[in-house]
Amino acid sequence: MIRIAQADITTLSVDAIVNAANQRMFGGGGVDGAIHRAAGPELFEACLKVPEVRSGVRCPTGEARITPGFKLPAKFVIHTVGPVYRDGRHGEPELLAACYRNSLALAAENGCKSIAFPCISTGVYGYPIEDAARISVDTMRAFLSGRDSARPEMEVIFCCFSERDKQVYDNLMKTESP
Ligand code: ADP
């Protein structure tokens, strides 16, 4: 089941919230900063324990890593790194879809039944919300329908921060719902 919400993702009582992280997993601005502040310093410690795959990279773009949620109502934080948007022709759509797919797979592997996503890459990374929202919904529907992996029982929340982002998602769900 897919739901659209307008909320601060750090307040949601779900099994996992997804963080739009950076490759170092050092925390940062935007939703990443908000999640680290709400989870407390243990989250930063847990991120540092994630092994580097190469110098300065704990989570390559498009991949996902999991940590506990510590002080958050959510049990887990799934950290994924969205692509920086250039023009949409440098692999950004595939990388953004991979973020959603890999986060969902990691949530399923860890027994999560509910997961909330922010609008990955649409802040500082500059991905146009209309394009990013379409990719996220398409990827989610493929996952939930079992075409990618059979986990249809998962509740997925697209957690929009702004009213405008929520409108984009609401319109997309209305026009393209099966
Ligand atoms: P990125 O670097 O992937 O673009 P940002 O954190 O800059 O990540 O922005 C991603 C999205 O997260 C934006 O739509 C932004 O409005 C939203 N956002 C920022 N803070 C929060 C929050 N507390 N809860 C949910 N979404 C948030």
Query: DSSP for 40-51?
Result: -HHHHHHHHHSP
> Is residue 53 helix, strand or coil?
coil
Predicted confidence at residue 100, as pLDDT, reads 98
More confident residue, 167 or 144: 167
As a 3-state breakdown, the chain gives helix, strand, coil percent values, each rounded to 5, of 40, 20, 45
Predicted confidence at residue 178, as pLDDT, reads 54
Q: Which atom of ligand 1 is nearest to 125's Cα? A: 4
Pocket test for ligand 1, best of 12, 18, 26, 31 (most atoms within 8 A of CB): 31
Q: What is the pLDDT of residues 68-91, one digit of tens each?
A: 999 999 999 999 999 999 999 999
Mean per-residue pLDDT for 132-158?
Answer: 85
Predicted confidence at residue 148, as pLDDT, reads 56
Q: Find the catalytic residue in 15, 32, 131, 165.
A: 32
pTM reported for the whole predicted model: 0.96
Give the CB-side neighbour count of residue 114, counting CA atoms within 13 A. Answer: 11
Residue 74 near ligand 1, beta carbon < 6 Å: no
Determine the longest span between alpha carbons in the chain, in angstroms: 45
Ligand 1 centroid to 129 CA: how many Å? 11
More confident residue, 117 or 146: 117
The amino acid sitting at 2 is I
Predicted confidence at residue 144, as pLDDT, reads 86
Q: What is the mean pLDDT of the chain?
A: 95
CATH for 66: 3.40.220.10
Q: Which domain holds residue 27?
A: 2-175
Give the chain's domain count: 1
